[in-house]
Amino acid sequence: MSSSQAVKDTAKKLVNLLEKCPKDRIPHLVSFKDVQMARFRRVAGLPNVDDKGKSIKERKPSLDEIKSIINRTSGPLGLSKEMLAKIQNKVVDEKFTEESINEQVRALSTIMSNKFRNYYDVGDKLYKPAGNPYYYQRLIDAVDGKKKENFFTAMRTVIFGK
């Protein structure tokens, strides 16, 4: 098996593992999972897909498009054609090896299996402290949007600690 084929195969393993990762609970502008999926799909030679599974065509802007954007903007951005060519040539393409991708596969599988959470398990003493046993559960409920506190219940919690 050639080295490029081995890199593609290990990248496919990483993409499959990334697909099994859960979605972020809190929506962000950019998701780690989505960025890594797009990055390693390109390495594996797989097409990029959207949330519904449809293929997305990825197209880099041409030198003429970049030049027209620069010409339309005011200020010191007007670069010569030679400078634009130098900039485009300096853009680094990522070079992956089979070992580097395998390291990422191992790290992601360790995270997904909760290896260190189980190894360094803390007891109920930290999750439910005696002074305020429902503190962390209220935080999780607030993040999940299950139960919202109003002003009066928040003041009761601050004053009485319950």
> Which residue shows structure tokens 């999926």?
37
Rg of the chain, C-alpha, whole Å: 24
The pLDDT, as a whole number, for residue 32 is 85
Q: Which of 14, 1, 16, 12 is nearest to 45 (CA)?
A: 12
The pLDDT, as a whole number, for residue 17 is 92
The pLDDT, as a whole number, for residue 95 is 80
Cβ neighbors of 152 (< 8 A, separation 6 or more) are none
Q: Which of 40, 39, 48, 54 is nearest to 9 (CA)?
A: 40
The pLDDT, as a whole number, for residue 9 is 92
**Which positions of the chain have pLDDT values less than 70?**
1-2, 50-59, 69-81, 84, 88, 90-94, 161-162
The pLDDT, as a whole number, for residue 29 is 81
Tokens representing 121 are 């398990």
Q: What does the alpha-carbon distance between residue 28 and residue 26 come to, in Å, rounded to a whole number?
A: 6
- pTM across the whole model: 0.57
